[in-house]
Amino acid sequence: MAKLPSEPKFEFHNRTRFLPKIDQQTDKLSISASVTDESESIQPGALRIMRWGQWDWPLLISTPERAILELIDELPNKETFHLVDVMMEGLVNISPRRMQRLLEEATSIKVKRLFFFFADRHRHRWLEHILRDKIDLGKGKRMLVKGGKLDPKYQITVPGDLNAIQ
């Protein structure tokens, strides 16, 4: 224990960047009174309150649906396409209704287009339950990677070695 650093390092992310409407609701959450038993509780904004530790401290965490959108938002500056690709590949049991709501509320065109790019790439079964016509994917091309390949369906550039057209 003596060799561990004494000051923790915190890394902050702007959680309202692509879900501003939803996060206005979550800012008003009263975490301490939200869960009275040992189960988890889904809150507005696809956040979950989980009790942990000896004293059942409330811990606010993202649901898998929200977490993947938060990860995609970190592309390409803080996360790699390969990591997101692997995470999306394993995302087999999400709630299509929760994902639908998050995608409709999301303001980032980049996040929504990349989500569909990766979901199509892995041919997830839950994707057929997402109503794409209710989700605004914007207009025009978006360059995410210099020198990358243009995906013709979503009009985004992705790394050439990701095999954009599958």
Residue 36 confidence class, pLDDT cut points 50, 70, 90: very low
Residue 7 confidence class, pLDDT cut points 50, 70, 90: confident
Does residue 28 have a pLDDT over 50? no
Q: Give 117-165 pLDDT, tens digit per residue.
A: 999 999 999 999 999 999 999 999 999 888 889 999 999 999 988 764 4
Q: What's the token pair of residue 76?
A: 């390409």
Residue showing tokens 């025009």: 140
Among residues 164, 166, 132, the alpha carbon closest in space to that of 151 is found at 164
Residue-wise DSSP of 69-91: HHHHHTTTTTS-HHHHHHHHHT-
Q: Give 55-98 pLDDT, tens digit per residue.
A: 777 777 788 999 899 999 988 888 899 999 999 999 998 999 99
CA angle in degrees (0–180, nearest 5) for 141-143-149: 95
* CB 75, CB 111: distance < 8 Å: no
Out of 15-24, 26-35, 88-97, the most confident range is: 88-97
pLDDT of residue 30: 46
- Going 124 to 164 to 131 to 74, the CA torsion angle's sign is positive
State whether residue 30 is helix, strand or coil.
Answer: coil
pLDDT of residue 122: 94
State whether residue 47 is helix, strand or coil.
Answer: strand
Give the residue extent of every domain in the chain.
64-138
DSSP for residue 142: B
